Amino acid sequence: MEQILTTMEDRTILEKYTDSGQCAMTTYQVLPGVQLIYTEAHLQSVQIEERRKMSDQVFEISHCSEGRLECNVNGEFCYLSPGDLVIARANRISSASYFPLRHYHGVTVRIDLEETPGCLSCFLDDVTVQPRRIAEKFCSEKNAFIARENESFVHLFSELYSVPETIRKGYFKIKVLELMLFLSALDRTQDEFEVRSYTKNQVHLAKAVSGYLMKHMGERITLEMLSKHFHVSESHIKNTFKGVYGVSVGAYIRTQKMESASYMLEYTEKSILEIAGEHGFDNCSKFASAFRTVKGMAPLEYRNSRICNKSV
């Protein structure tokens, strides 16, 4: 794996590249002990080594904007869909970040209780934001807290994904305070971690099925074939796979073919006909139609758009 670390005046950017994709994490120091991290991943998994070194005094609030994120917290597995939020101690989260759909955009607020002030908002009347109380509220009794998308989360996080650069530094501070004020009043009974978690065996089966599908991307694979290969019932594969990946086996195959194809279009010089053939299409017309359905544009248009973006 290739790593590139770029340090700028107001941020650091860590880019990780593998043969199958890339991941970029952009980190802003918002307040003492408080970081805001944007993650854009287009690969299956990546190691976040710094989590291994973190103390129990660091916790993270992560929000999924696009794609899907696996939360492995002390061996319990749960999955974030767009709009979902999870809160957990950083050292309880696996250092191996896994993205079931090979596509993920999200933001994480990382707070070190040993470095951040006891109260972040004492200069504002009628606003009390105490990070330690929030950590104790959501991360003490259980491994993690997870909540589905709601209107409040949409309001809180949507603006973080389109911040004008001219006001970024101050705006981040305001949004972090707003988020933590909201969490201070959030009902703890909304926690869905336990009802949405999966066992290690269930996750292992789903990932084995995914690996098999990726190895046979050019073939037509049915649930019956998967059932015979893995020696479990079709319904068990169907339900477990949907729980981990958020989509049916058929939808997953279609999406992954196009994710793989889009990566080749951007990072290789293979012809569109070659790429189509490697993904089970016998002509460019059928491939272009399938690609447009998933990506919203034709393969050549997608390739040209990526070339233009890199030249800017």
> What pLDDT does 112 receive?
95
Determine what percent of the chain is predicted with pLDDT higher than 70: 96
Half-sphere exposure of 242 (CA within 13 A, CB side): 9
Is the dihedral angle over the CA atoms 123, 124, 129, 131 positive or is it negative?
negative
What is the residue whose two structure tokens read 């800017």?
A: 312
Q: What average pLDDT does the segment 112-130 reach?
A: 75
pLDDT score of 123 more than 60? no
* Residues present in the chain in total: 312
Q: What average pLDDT does the segment 114-126 reach?
A: 73
Please name the residues in contact with 62: beta carbons below 8 A apart, sequence gap of 6 or more: 69, 71, 80, 85, 86, 87, 106, 107, 108, 109
> What pLDDT does 126 receive?
60
Q: What average pLDDT does the segment 232-251 reach?
A: 94
Amino acid at 189: T
Q: pLDDT tens across 77-118, in order?
A: 999 999 999 999 999 999 999 999 989 999 999 999 999 888
pLDDT score of 309 more than 80? no
Judge whether 68 and 212 are in contact, CB under 8 Å: no
Least confident of 146-155, 264-273, 276-285: 146-155
Q: What average pLDDT does the segment 258-274 reach?
A: 90
Cα–Cα dist 100/84, whole Å: 15
> What pLDDT does 117 receive?
83
> What pLDDT does 14 receive?
93
Q: pLDDT tens across 29-40, in order?
A: 999 999 999 999
Cα–Cα dist 210/207, whole Å: 5
**Rounded alpha-carbon distances, angstroms, from residue 264 to 22, 101, 278, 304:** 12, 17, 10, 13
- Tokens, residue 48: 């976040």
> What pLDDT does 312 receive?
44
- Tokens, residue 231: 């020696």
Determine what percent of the chain is predicted with pLDDT higher than 90: 48
pLDDT score of 166 more than 80? yes
Judge whether 135 and 111 are in contact, CB under 8 Å: yes
pLDDT score of 65 more than 80? yes
pLDDT score of 24 more than 50? yes
Q: How confident is the model at residue 129 (pLDDT cuts 50, 70, 90)?
A: confident
Give 189 or 110, the one with higher predicted confidence.
Answer: 110
Q: How confident is the model at residue 125 (pLDDT cuts 50, 70, 90)?
A: low
Cα–Cα dist 206/221, whole Å: 15
pTM over 0.85: no
Number of C-beta neighbours around residue 241 at 10 A: 24
Q: pLDDT tens across 199-233, in order?
A: 999 999 999 999 999 888 778 889 999 999 999 99
